[in-house]
Amino acid sequence: MFTASLFVVTVAIGFLVKFGGFTVVLQWVAWSGVSFTAVKAGGYAAMAQLTLASVFAVLQPHGPWMEMPGFTAHRIISFATMAYVCYVGGCAWLYPDAELLAASSSALTRLQHAHPVGEHLAQVLLGLNVVWDIPCGFLIRSLRERSNARLMLIHHLLVVLLAYLALLPRFQYYVVVFFGLMEASSAPLALMDLCHPRNVEWAAYARSHALVGAANNASRVVFGVSFLLTRALYFPFVMLSSVLPDLLTLLGMAAPPASKLGLAAILGSSLFLTGLQLHWAGLILRQAAGGAKPEHAKAA
């Protein structure tokens, strides 16, 4: 099935290139403000998804990767992409260049100042979500039937909205931290999520293989600590101490430097994302205290 899907996608791309349709797609992308970076990020992830899933479907010896090839491929790609995003954004935020420091001087500069790292991360996250991650959420059973699937879809859609608004440009200064450093918990989550109890084959494999079990336990610890530090504490702190005051300042101007509707969309989306982080943090804390089993939260 996966090999057939890969063949169909390859033929479709070849058809577009041969008959000029690919040029039309690229022209629309350029017109919309989305660069080829987004197309490459999403396209490469989608091709890697099909390729890895096809390999896992036939990979010997028999293991959980054969039972869940699409999910296994998705988690591996999630780990790689989120580690990359975290590294790029984290380096820029922790070691800011003169351009980022200049952008931090006022609410107006934080709104309007473009930054290459913020631009790059917005393009990458936009492409990954639209072309690969959101479609996989519908097509892969384990992602589609998880208890927090609807919340995750809303989360992804909000990230798409904010990434697109950032390309206008809007608040690329904050993109560096929110689309970069905040993904510190997403990479270990991708590995840990493989062995979630709902994935029966992988959960059994972790119990019967000491090394896999140890890696899963280590990923759980790293995820829990990084999520609480970045998303439960730092995310709301930056949002409430800086982003929210900036937005209220700009909305309060007699002639706002940007569309009030756009600023309101950023405000509402940001507050909703903050609420999601705190909701998931509460589930993690309840698990640590021996309470109810949590939904695994994927940070975007």
Q: Which two tokens stand for residue 42?
A: 């999403």
SS3 171: coil
- Please state the three-class secondary structure of 58-122 as a single string: HCCCCCHHHHCHHHHHHHHHHHHHHHHHHHHHHHHHHCCCHHHHHHCCCHHHHHHCCCHHHHHHH
Q: Could you give the CA distance from residue 149 to residue 193 in angstroms, rounded to a whole number?
A: 14
Q: To the nearest whole number, what is the mean pLDDT of the chain?
A: 86
DSSP E strand stretches across the chain: none
Task: Convert the pLDDT of each residue in 173-188 to its tens digit.
Answer: 999 988 898 999 999 9
CB-based burial, 228-253: b 16+ in 10 Å, e otherwise: bebbbebbbebbeebbbebbeebeee
- Which H/E stretch holds residue 236? helix 235-238
- Looking at per-residue pLDDT, the higher value among 4 and 54 belongs to 54
Check whether 10 has a pLDDT greater than 60: no
Please give the pLDDT value at position 284: 81
**Among 76, 114, 97, which residue's Cα sits nearest to residue 65?**
76
Q: Could you give the CA distance from residue 5 to residue 57 in angstroms, rounded to a whole number?
A: 13
Check whether 121 has a pLDDT greater than 80: yes
pLDDT winner (highest mean) among 67-76, 143-152, 259-268: 67-76
Is 190:79 a contact under the CB 8 Å cutoff? yes
Cβ-count burial of 145 within 10 angstroms (0-12 exposed, 13-18 middle, 19+ buried)? exposed
Please give the pLDDT value at position 40: 93
For residues 244-266, average pLDDT: 92
Amino acid 16 reads: L
Alpha carbon of residue 129 to chain centroid: 7
Per the confidence metrics, is the pTM higher than 0.75? yes
Is 42:127 a contact under the CB 8 Å cutoff? yes
Cis bond before residue 116 (omega within 30° of 0): no
Please give the pLDDT value at position 1: 43
